[in-house]
Homo-oligomer: A and B are copies of this chain.
Amino acid sequence: MGYMNTAPIPPSADEPRWLTAEEQRVWRSYIEAATLLEDHLDRQLQRDAGMPHVYYGLLVKLAESPRRRLRMTELARYAKITRSRLSHAIARLEKNGWVRREDCPSDKRGQFAILTDEGYEVLRRTAPGHVDAVRQAVFDRLTPEQQKSLGEIMRIVAEGLQPSEAGADLPWLR
């Protein structure tokens, strides 16, 4: 059950294409690593920066943006999260004084999320520790070839899941 394919039966129309034993091992390794890694980084950042990994990522995106600001929707798209989730997250970061909002002059619906100096300072203080954690957990353990391979693989998977995939709204044309 689950992902098994024990029966030596050729795939038929209604019999689903179960994962092979080897595919299962790959998938399980992926799930385990992804779970452990996110957990590890969440804990590390919660301890050292007082926020979960996703929130940290939001601050990073803002810090990298011109004038340290982004429109809410844009930030949500970059971070691969929903606007709803972003609304909650920014509300929390605002309470911490790490982000502030500003109305968009050209679009009265719009809001900018802006990294404050305090927010920047938190990032400056905690970034080294976080990079270390990422190195220790991932890069230091992989050969250069594996790093390259990981990049390619994840790029492919990410592209396949982008909601903004070209022609995503016209699937019958693909």
Interface segment, A57-65, A86-94, A95-103, A106-114?
A57-65
Annotate A120-151 by CB proximity to B: 1 below 8 A, 0 otherwise: 10011001100110111111011000111111
Determine whether A156 belongs to the interface, using a CB cutoff of 8 Å to chain B. Answer: yes
> A144 — nearest CB in chain B belongs to which residue?
B22
| Complex contacts, A155 vs chain B, CB 8 Å | 29, 33
Within 8 Å of chain B (Cβ to Cβ): is A168?
A: no
For the complex, give the distance between the alpha carbons of A131 and B154 in Å: 19
Complex CA–CA separation, A123 to B1 (angstroms): 7
> Complex Cα distance A53/B27, Å?
13
How far apart are A75's CB and chain B's nearest CB, in angstroms? 14
A4 CB contacts on chain B under 8 angstroms: 64
- CB atoms of B139 and A19 under 8 A apart: yes
Judge if A118 is at the interface, Cβ distance under 8 Å: no
Encode A7-43 as 1/0 by CB contact (under 8 A) with B.
0000000001111001101110111111111111000
Could you write out 18 A-B pairs with CB less than 8 Å apart?
A1-B63, A1-B120, A2-B63, A3-B131, A4-B64, A16-B128, A17-B131, A17-B135, A22-B147, A26-B151, A29-B150, A30-B150, A30-B154, A34-B37, A36-B80, A36-B162, A37-B157, A137-B161
Known contacts A34-B34, A36-B162, A146-B152; 19 additional CB pairs below 8 A are A2-B63, A16-B127, A17-B131, A17-B135, A19-B135, A22-B147, A22-B151, A23-B147, A26-B154, A27-B134, A27-B138, A29-B154, A29-B158, A32-B154, A36-B80, A36-B161, A39-B80, A141-B160, A149-B150
